[in-house]
Structure formats: structure tokens, C-alpha cells
Amino acid sequence: MPRAERRDEVARWLEVVGLEGFGRHRPSQVSGGMAQRAALARALVRRPGVLLLDEPFAALDALTRLRMQDLLDEVRSAARTTILLVTHDVDEALQLADRIVLLSPGPAASITAALDVPVPRPREPSPWAATRPTRTCAPAPSTSAPPPAPPRCWRAPTAHP
């Protein structure tokens, strides 16, 4: 691939993962979530037929983890590549997978069950994933006077009977 084409491909994937403008930053200059997204972009630039991710979000805080899960779902659609995701998080598996394979415990693990996820795509994203991890949400408005249009990352509280 010619150098200019490689540069364009890198820029495209950095934009997809929300890191446009950070291409020259060193790993020590970005957050953990940004480093995870950079690693994802680095892998996708090579146009893999299969992408293997082993607990890719385990070290992230809860909010960044939800955003990364939704980003991975977007990237899966854009890249049109097969993703094999290893996770211990059942919710994460149900959100991201089309098929879930359960393994027996231990180093000599074997397949105990294989299940198709019965929920069609596109799936409902996390309510906190409406913004990219590099953006911050506006503070939630006071409950006494809600704004006419709440910020995308804020969900109005629901009344419980």
C-alpha cells in the first residue's frame, strides 16, 4: 500500500474511534481508554479478516467500558470483520455478540454450550454511550426545572411506583 494511502487509512480509523488529532501522541500522553481505542484502530488498519480481543475493556472504568462496547459495535459494522471477543461479562457478551460460546472452567477448557443471541441488530446502545469517551457530559440538570432538551448523555430519572 502506498504511503499516502496508508496515512489516509490511519486517519480514517483514528476518526472512527474518536481519536482524530491524536495521531502523533505517545501512549504516555493519553488516557487508558484512548490507548485502547488507538490499539483497536492500529489493528483495523491492517484490515484483518478476524480480530481477536481478549478482555479488551477489563481495565477501563465503567463509563468508558460502556462507551467502548458501543464503539466496538460501530466499528464491527464499519470494518465488516469477524470479531472473537473473550469476556467474563455476561452483559457485554449479550450486547456485542451474535453467538456466545460458554467454556468449562480450568486450563483444559472445553465448549459446554453455544448459544445464538436472539436479539436482532442494531441493538439498543448504552444510554451513556451517546458521547465519545473523549467528550464529557454536561452535568445533569436539577430535578426542579428540567431543560427543554437534555444533553445526549443524560437520561431523565424514571418515577418508581
Give the pLDDT score at 40: 85
Q: Taking residues 44-72, report their average pLDDT.
A: 85
- Looking at residue 100, what is its pLDDT? 95
3-class secondary structure, 67:
helix
**Cα–Cα distances in Å, from 144 out to 20, 140, 147, 159?**
38, 12, 10, 14
Q: Say if residue 59's pLDDT is above 60.
A: yes
Tens digits of residue pLDDT in 76-127: 887 888 899 999 998 899 889 999 999 999 899 999 999 999 988 877 766 6
**Is the pLDDT score of 139 beyond 90?**
no
8 Å CB contact between 33 and 55? no
